[in-house]
Amino acid sequence: MPPKKKPKTKEEIKEQKRIAERLRYQRLKNDPEKREQLKVEERRNYQIKKEKEKKSEKYRKRLERLEKAKTKENVDSPNTKLLKMCDSSVTRRKVVKKALFGEVFNAQLKENYSNLKTCKEKQIFGKVVSGELIHMYKLWRSKDSSISYKTVQKSTRRSVLVSTLRTRKDKISSDCIKTVRSFYEMMRTADLAQENENA
């Protein structure tokens, strides 16, 4: 009875498949007709792959939007709140109060900004009154708005409020310091050697 063959490992099987695929590819390359067929097949496979990637990306974005809509809290936007309030005569009083609050707040911001003296204070003011909601509703378009587009843009560009101080460059270069240090060390070594000779 012939001895049982040792079963091949996964790596050996993979290597065999790779060699067989390489040989098949080589045979196809040597035959002009088959080579052309291979090119057509590769092109088709590439197109199919691209289409799949495009579809998966499309559905991934759609899924993200749906998940975002689910997890997002059901909070009305400022516009929706005001429109709902204007529906009945009872809630119109609230709208007037909110409008009054907005006008007073805007006037106060204008007054505070006019009293600012330094650039640092103006920078902090811009950082406080700017944000995503200001950009979304473009509040700087209003004639009486205390927030200007310039202020918002400046505060967006500057991500930090702390001003960066310029460091003064050393008068003596590091190379020069190293040279002097090595010279003194050499002199010290020479002195020690002379002392040892005298002793």
Q: Tokens standing for 138?
A: 């473009």
Domain ranges within the chain, ordered by starting residue: 13-68, 89-157
Q: Within 13 A of 189's CA, how many CA atoms are on the CB side?
A: 6
Percent of the chain scored above 70 by pLDDT? 69
Q: Token pair for residue 69?
A: 């809509």
The answer to whether residue 12 scores a pLDDT higher than 80 is yes
In 3D space, the residue among 173, 197, 193, 195 whose CA is nearest the CA of residue 185 turns out to be 193
Q: Which of 30-39, 80-89, 130-139, 160-169 has the highest mean pLDDT?
A: 30-39
Which residues does 163 contact at the CB level (< 8 Å), separation at least 6?
120
The structure tokens listed for 12 are 């050996």
Element (H, E) at 70: helix 32-71
Note the pLDDT of residue 32.
79
pLDDT higher than threshold 60 for residue 58: yes
Handedness of CA 170, 173, 179, 180 (dihedral sign): negative
Please tell me the least confidently modeled range out of 15-24, 48-57, 94-103.
Answer: 94-103
pLDDT classification of 72: cutoffs 50, 70, 90:
low
pLDDT of 153 reads: 62
Indicate if the pLDDT at residue 154 is higher than 50.
yes
